[in-house]
Amino acid sequence: MSAISLYARRTEGHEARLAHAIEVLRTAARQHPGRIVQATSLGAEDMVVTDLIARHGLPIALGTLETGMLHEQTVALISRIEERYDLHVEVYRPVAESVVHFVKTNGERAMYDSIDLRKACCGIRKLEPLSRMLAERDAWITGLRREQSNNRGVVGFSEIDDKGRAKINPLADWTWNDVWHYIATNDVPYNPLHDEFMPSIGCAPCTRAIAVGEDFRAGRWWWEDEKAKECGLHVKEEPAVSMIGAPR
């Protein structure tokens, strides 16, 4: 059964949410001319955002992180985007020497050994490349939605990240049904792994299919505690505070 047949439903207020998402993108493009990028994960939400950018001719660059551990179906979406929309996708990869050193030191399955090692792997493969993507930009766009997890339940349409950049989330109030209704209605390309019960797709070793009734992100880092399930891309660093006199 396809993800479209499972999830695509027009729900009340969809047109209003769509119109608002388009206006959020237009405003962001206008406020950050030449210095804004969609950091696409190539997931269903991000494919919707890319389609909106292309469909409305918005001057927003497209960039993605090719971690070296993605499924081949995910990587294939890069060329599909370029062919479908005639837009270039900037591809950022991890520093090869850093990957080699990490694997040599910790092994290829280090992500399963501890949260610290898994986050270190994410740091090399995602956070450092993202820093290069955003180096000359003052705004970036994501496909974050409040419905995705408890950790994302307060996502705003526009936020300030820990480097002072504008972080734009045009689909913040969209439902999973909204996402797939848009994909179905507009024939948006999507990852075929979504048809295999993978609603949230990351690196291959850290993604599995979910069972009926499981949480949306249950297939990501499933061996970890729920509170740890972020790679760091969307976690704001807390400012340092003095611990003098703090309770122990």
Residue type, 134: L
Whether the CB-CB separation of 98 and 124 falls below 8 Å is answered with: yes
Phi, psi of 92 (to 5 degrees): -115, 125
Scan for tokens 């995602």, then name that residue: 126
Rounded CA-CA distance 188/40 in Å is 14
Rounded CA-CA distance 49/121 in Å is 27
Query: Residue 231 catalytic?
Result: yes
Name the active-site residue from 122, 203, 206, 231: 231
H or E element in which residue 17 lies: helix 14-31
Q: Which of 137, 121, 156, 178 is nearest to 234 (CA)?
A: 156
Report, as residue numbers or ranges, the catalytic residues. Answer: 231
